[in-house]
Structure 1
Amino acid sequence: MMVRVFLIEPVVGVYAFSMFMLYPLIQQYVYRRLWQQLTGAPYPTQMNYTHCSDSSTNVSSIHQEIQKEASLFLFYSELCFLFPSLLSSLLLVSYSDHRGRKVALVPPLVGELLFALCYATVSHLSLSLGYLLGASFLAGVMGGPTALLGGSFAYIADLCEDEGVEGVRMAALEMLLGVLSGLASLCTGFYIQTAGFTWPFITAAVLHLINLVYTAWVLQETVERPSHTDSSSSPSSSPTPFGAGSARFLQREALIGRFQGVYLLFTASPRRRKTVLGLILAAFAFYTVSKLGGMSIFILYELNAPLCWSEVLVGYGSALSTLIYLGSFAGVSLLSRCLRDGYIVLLGLLSVAAGLLMAAFAKSTLLMFLVRLPLLLSIMPAPVLRSMMSKIVLRSEQGAVFACVAFVEMLSIGVGITVFSSTYASTVSWFPGFSFLLASAIALIPAVLIGVVMCLRLDKDEEASRLTADDDEEETESCGQSLQLPH
């Protein structure tokens, strides 16, 4: 008898490890290539504080120029990824309601595999950095991390009947994402020193390939696909001379229906639920812009004077960030027993604002390491906000709501990274920490939005109405099945 595997955690864990092997690699690889192009000299592997900040030479101006060029290149790369991924992530996660969750899981893994292979090829052959922009576009077309995570959270929502368990398991998924990403970043620093850049890129590609095999052939589906026998038994599916064309037409209609599911989630819902969803989605968007946008420039900030971190120190800093995910998971697990979801979100937003404010004035290695302490609870808002939205929609709408979340998250990540990359490039010469101050201020906006939801108790009212609607839906389905029983 074949064992049925419903563990989505290995997919997210291996994906996080391989992806965050790539993320610090990309920034450091681009930084070193631009160093070679702008200076005509090899990148110094052993950099100390005096060399980095020596004002008697041109090193300081070179650093500022490289910082600007690197942040702009990452800005262009993010744009190439953002626009195709917005549509593809929305389509894939929403379509998974109809064709199964693997629709949202497999394409992003294929895209990341090709992305890693492209970086390995460019690194090994020293090709133009322009090819990397094409790799970003291809990864975006395949859905990217938001499609995979959206499909993963919808997968968990399918499995969990208990809403309390659902929230904790989503937080556990966030924790797994962070812990393995930190371990990957730590390994990357030593890997670069011993093997250069090509082999780490190849290693990430191999991990994506293993993950793809597990997802495609081992992981079981949670959504039952409509069988051909069911469709053939209906009167409308009788053979016609246009069978192939009719099949394509039905597939196209089903595809359009997935977009209609997202559309109806807002247009056909009661006004009160639309208000709650809108407020929580807006809070999620501003939170993502603040946190990920601000933290996206951590590595560039750490490579710049006066910190001038080596790749090993960058790895240590990224590994220390795993404490953020562990602390946030522990916070959700403990606080969910005694606090409403809204209060947990507010504590997490306070953590984001405090940590980024401290980063703006971090001028020493010790202080930059300590920035991770006030950020310990900064991941809590993400799983809790997802859980809040999942609780107020019907079970048949889980894919649609997580498609919306994936779309908003991808848009917010793109906006955050592009805005803060360009802001950092403009302000690095006079105040490198300005971007962190801006991100800290933006974190106050979602706090206000969640405060409105809590004061009006909109989330609790909508959660109760959703449970009633689910019960009615189940009764309707059971009645429909009983009517189909033979006499």
Structure 2
Amino acid sequence: MEVFLVEPAILLSAFAMTLSTPLTTQYVYRRIWDETSNFSVAFGGNVSQCDKNTSSPIFVLQEEVQKKVSLFSLQMELSGLIPGVVSTFVLLSLSDHQGRKLPMVLSAMGSLATSTWLCLLAYFSWPLELLIASTFVSALGGNYTTFWGACFAYIVDQCPDEKRRTIRIAILDLLIGLVTGLTALSSGYFLGALGFVWSFLVIALAVAVNLLYVVFVLGTPARETPLPAQGASGSCCEAFRGLLSRTSALFQNASGRRRLLLCLLLLTMMSYFFVVIGTSPVFVLFELDAPLCWDAVYIGYGAALGSATFVSSFLGIWVFSYCMEDIHMAFIGLFTTMGGMVMTAFSRTTWMMLSVRLLFLFSVVPFSVLRSMLSKVVCSSEQGILFACISVLETLGGVIAVSAFNGIYSATVAWYPGFTFLLSAALLLVPAVSLCAAKCVSQKGGSYALLIQEDAAVGDETDK
């Protein structure tokens, strides 16, 4: 019996991704510690090996380990950059004809290969460099951005009614926030109770169940139509050229004012995405280092509070939408996130670091609001290509952001670990300025529809 609910697939993917990220970082940290040090240190399940005395040899060692872990993370992210971008670009465009399940299946297979490889790597203590190779191979099938992009497109196929579609996506965001929050909260206990090998095995089992659900249970919406029979290489090249052509037309067919507004909103979204996603893995390294010296349980607490922003942001949008415009909600999320980055840079105690998360309660608001604003700038026939472009930009920008911030943190951790967060706060001025410019261009909320109507009128005249 076929089921047309994609929510279980997204939730299983969110569980696996949320559990995998902090555990992988901590595993790399401990492996590099053992390889760097000349003496053995016992890392208990929930015990942090961290010295706050700057004159201690352990303090010097942990600073060196921080640098090496950051650089290794940089290499791992770069290894998946090109295959991840290309696969997302091609698979999401092919999904318009071959079905949304194609990118879901290939992405899940890549995640299963990575998690299985992590189990073997941890069990046999193979060289860490093999993890970089596995990241490259698994990225050929896409990543979580590819998987989620296909899932949201699946929902759009099922919900032609815009109001129903918005409500279903909003509820889905809320569920994702709850799952990621609970998973992040339990990550430290997974590590303490099971160790790395069994924890990675749990992730692999979750991805395997997800893959089986997509292949054998998830149905195919009636709107999806198969691609005409032709060679595989021809299909990929055709889709690649078609996507490039439609992307170019998205800007070329727009009036100057609408094109400017579209570019400003895309710049706002991607520059904000760059900072928020880029600093995410740095938080774990910052918490492991002195003076915080968090263990796995506290890292889980911090990650859980960070994931709770999905819930608080959803509630914030629901409440704020009654009394303010979209662009004002985006400003609230942007400036509170900026304040959180500054406060993080000066956090020296566990209580202060946990309190920082309160300023990030609305950090997801700009993402949802900017997507909504972008959808109002383009016509209904351009919605698909718009979100395909956003997915590709997120894949490319995410890898570049994580790589860049890991490199910056590695270069500055020795003299001031909080520099990365101060820099991120300064970089948030870019989306703030571009959002102000977008407000000036749009002038008022109703101008989105007017811009589209103007372009449609011009297009009709051209056709005549």
Query: How high is the TM-score relative to the length of structure 2?
Result: 0.90
1: CA distance between counterparts of 2:423 and 2:138? Answer: 29
**Which of 10, 13, 33 is the equivalent residue of 2:11?**
13
- In structure 1, runs of 5+ residues without a counterpart are 232-242, 474-487
User: 1:146 is aligned with what amino acid?
Assistant: T
**Distance in 2, Cα, partners of 1:416 & 1:248:** 31
Determine the structure 2 residue equivalent to 1:81. 80
- The residue aligned with 1:39 is 37
Letter in 1 for 2:43: T
- 1:72-471 equivalences under 5 Å are 72-161=71-160, 163=162, 166-222=165-221, 224-226=223-225, 249=234, 252-457=237-442, 460-464=446-450, 466=452
Cα deviation, residue 165, structure 1: 5.1
Q: Residue 51 of structure 2 aligns to a residue in which SS?
A: helix
Aligned to 2:69: 70
- Distance in 2 (CA, whole Å) between partners of 1:163 and 1:110 is 32
2:462 match? none
**1:64-109 CA-partner distances (Å, limit 9, x unpaired):** 0000000000011111112221121122222222322223322211
Shift of residue 130, structure 1, vs aligned partner: 0.7
SS of equivalent to 2:308: helix
Give the 3 Å change call, closer, same or farther, for CA 124–162 of structure 1 in structure 2.
Answer: same
Query: Structure 2 vs 1, CA of residues 6 and 104 (structure 1 numbering), >3 Å: closer, same or farther?
Result: same
Alpha-carbon distance in structure 1 between the residues aligned to 2:441 and 2:195: 56
| Offset of residue 253 of structure 1 | 3.2
Contact residue 93 and residue 402 of structure 1 kept, 8 A: no
Cα 1:42–1:332 shift into 2, 3 Å: farther
Task: Give how far 1:176 is off.
Answer: 2.9
1:447-466 Cα distance to aligned partner (Å, 9 max, x none): 22122222222774334555
Kept in 1, the 8 Å contact 2:93–2:239? The answer is: no
The 1:221–1:450 alpha-carbon spacing in structure 2 relative to 1, beyond 3 Å, is farther
What does the per-residue CA deviation read over 1:335-393, in whole Å, with 9 as the maximum and x for residues that have no partner?
22332211111111112101111101010011111110011001111122222223333
Contact 2:110–2:139, Cα closer than 8 Å, also in 1: yes
* Corresponding residue number in structure 2 for 1:25: 23
Structure number, greater radius of gyration: 1
How many Å apart are 1:155 and its aligned residue?
Answer: 2.9
Q: What count of residue pairs does the alignment treat as equivalent? A: 457
Alpha-carbon shift at residue 263 of structure 1 (Å): 2.8
Identity of aligned residues (%): 35
Cα RMSD (Å): 2.8
Contact 2:16 2:206 survives alignment (8 Å): yes
Q: Relative to 1, partners in 2 of residues 1:140 and 1:206: Cα closer, same or farther, differing over 3 Å?
A: same
Q: Give, as a single letter, the amino acid of the residue that structure 2 aligns with 1:360.
A: A
Instruction: Give a deviation string over 1:243-278, Cα, whole Å, max 9, x none.
Output: 977x97567535532332223222333333322221
Q: Is the 8 A contact 1:150 1:405 kept in 2?
A: no
